[in-house]
Structure 1
Amino acid sequence: MFSSSSWLHMRIPFSYFLMPVFLFSLAVSPNNSMTGPVLWTFVLVHLFLYPASNGYNSYFDKDEKSIGGLKNPPPVNKGLYYLSLLFDTIAIVLGGLMINITFAVMLLVYGLVSKAYSHPAVRLKKYPIGGWLVAGMFQGFFTFLMCYVGINKFSLDTTFRLSVLIPAALSTLMLWGNYPMTQIYQHEEDSKRGDKTLSLLLGIRGTFYFVGAVFGLVTLAFVLYFNAYFAPHYALTFLIALAPVVVYFLYWFVQAYRDETQANYQHTMWLNFISATCLNGFFLYLTLSTMNLL
């Protein structure tokens, strides 16, 4: 029933690119040494919730050209639809059993919003500003709080304080800055379907300008946060960690400025990989520091 093509469309390795939000939440969690909840939260979010969203979106998008994490997507079938729903169900049920009901409900809410992004009845993807705002808010702010609840086995009311809300907001700013770059190579495919993404609205060069400006503001916000809640050397380490991302972004911008065909899948995936690797490394370092393991 579940063909190899369906498993490919789940794009489980793509969860690596979304891992910084979990690690950031882990770093500021008071109970980040509780192995069980930490592992369950990671597994349910990255190995079930995210793949379920990927598969569901692939089923309704029916892309013929490259998509995030899959250069040559095979045709979709009904099995992919059911596999994505199965992964959602497993995440929600185990979230309730192994963590708490609050975490399970948050998994459900995330799943519903991710479905609204591509389902033809709503299809947030066709709204350039609305789709960008919702995607960034739920993959950033909401996911940060969801992971915080899961990692610590807390109730939702424990997240209503600045020490949690500020890093959650920073996660969304980070996603808002990055999201248009993930759409930059899909202009032809999106136009054919009638989807007006933010990157399509901005154009190739406009996307680079926009992302560069937002990235600068987000970096400043992170530096101020680390100076206020941690120590200046964390802000410096953060800047050093981002250096490879800036170098590659500028290199790619020059290439695409001269030849817009360079705004392609390969460059996008390299930027995603470098960015995720640098951020994952930094937030892992921050986690180990807060646990006094360094």
Structure 2
Amino acid sequence: MTFRTVWLHLRVPFSFFLLPVFLFALTQSDALRSGALDWVRVAVIWVAIHLLLYPASNAYNSYFDKDEGSIGILETPPPVDKTLFYVAWGLDGLALLLGVWVGWPFVVYLLVYGFISKAYSHPAVRLKKYPIASWLIVSLFQGGFTYLMTLQAFDRLPVADLIKPQPLLAALLCTMNLLAVYPITQIYQHEEDSRRGDLTMSRLLGVGGTFLNAVCWFALSLVGFYRYFGGATMFWLLPVCLLPGVVYFLFWYRRVHRDVGQANFRSAMTMTLLSGTGLNFFFLFLLILTDS
């Protein structure tokens, strides 16, 4: 495999869609509020998660899936070989080395997330075949679990402090967002998944059900964020930041309702990009307000 092929399968830019979880945890850091946050530590945690852990998972799953149709941010994924498998484990090893510097709870997080993500596509387990289980597990680990362990790493919290109502509610909100968005990322893969015998959540729900699922969980998450911020003015920045994504979602659904072929790769990626960008902007605004 060429360097370019390996790089494409790492799908590093795809980590952008999961950045809101990291930023949300950062805005809720007690160390940030007190002015004692170690920004070098923040950078190391970001590198471990977004430049090593997530790309390693992408590469590992690409190796076992051997997709011929569109996946993630790749419209035409190139062929893979054993090189990608070794690269994935190498990145995981580097993430663990950084994790040791951050702290042992973070190392445990990296190990657990790494094994769960590998079980998604590995033929011995292949969580991807089980629509509800994979939907819940991916949403929980990419959402709530990552939020809690990132917050713990920022503030060096005792793990027991993570089961208090406020961090648990925040973790639930992260999971809700993933429950909404994750099936959308599968909506254009029905034919490819059917060919391999994988019954994903989006295939189980159908195209219309995938849209309805997103609406329900998105609405619940908005209510949850309102509760989390106590109705404060800063909450109203959230629907403003998400407005472009909501408008696109409605027009996209209208197109899909007329022609199911519009549930395609480019539309799904545009929707994911807009929703991810909106959340990133919201948490960046919140970070500036918190740090000022």
| TM-score tier after normalising by the smaller chain length | over 0.9
Structure 2 residue 217 is the aligned partner of structure 1 residue 214: yes
- The secondary structure found in structure 2 opposite 1:119 is coil
TM-score (norm 2): 0.96
> Which one-letter code corresponds to 1:142 in the other structure?
F
Name the residue aligned to 1:6.
Answer: 6
Aligned with 1:135 (options 138, 149, 154): 138
Question: Shift of the alpha carbon at 1:180?
Answer: 0.7
Question: Shift of the alpha carbon at 1:280?
Answer: 0.3
Distance 1:130 1:167 in 2: 22
Alignment of 1:89-104 (within 5 A): 89-97=93-101, 99-104=102-107
Count the aligned residue pairs: 288
> Which one-letter code corresponds to 1:70 in the other structure?
L
Question: Shift of the alpha carbon at 1:284?
Answer: 1.1
Name the residue aligned to 2:193.
Answer: 190
> Which one-letter code corresponds to 1:71 in the other structure?
E
Structure 2 residue 103 is the aligned partner of structure 1 residue 61: no
TM-score (norm 1): 0.95
Aligned with 1:75 (options 76, 79, 87): 79
Name the residue aligned to 1:255.
Answer: 255
Aligned with 1:87 (options 54, 67, 91): 91
Alignment of 1:263-274 (within 5 A): 263-274=263-274
Distance 2:256 2:137 in 1: 28
Name the residue aligned to 2:25.
Answer: 25
For structure 2, the residue ranges without an aligned partner over 5 or more in a row are: none
> Which one-letter code corresponds to 1:258 in the other structure?
R
Question: Shift of the alpha carbon at 1:2?
Answer: 6.3
Aligned with 1:110 (options 100, 110, 113): 113
- The secondary structure found in structure 2 opposite 1:31 is helix
For the aligned residue pairs, the C-alpha RMSD in angstroms reads 1.2
Distance 1:192 1:284 in 2: 41
Kept in 2: contact 1:103–1:150 (CA 8 A): yes
Distance 2:160 2:288 in 1: 26
Distance 1:290 1:3 in 2: 41
Question: Shift of the alpha carbon at 1:225?
Answer: 1.4
Q: Which moved more, 1:246-255 or 1:202-211?
A: 202-211
- The secondary structure found in structure 1 opposite 2:273 is helix
Distance 1:112 1:2 in 2: 26
Name the residue aligned to 1:280.
Answer: 280
Distance 1:172 1:93 in 2: 27
Question: Shift of the alpha carbon at 1:261?
Answer: 0.6
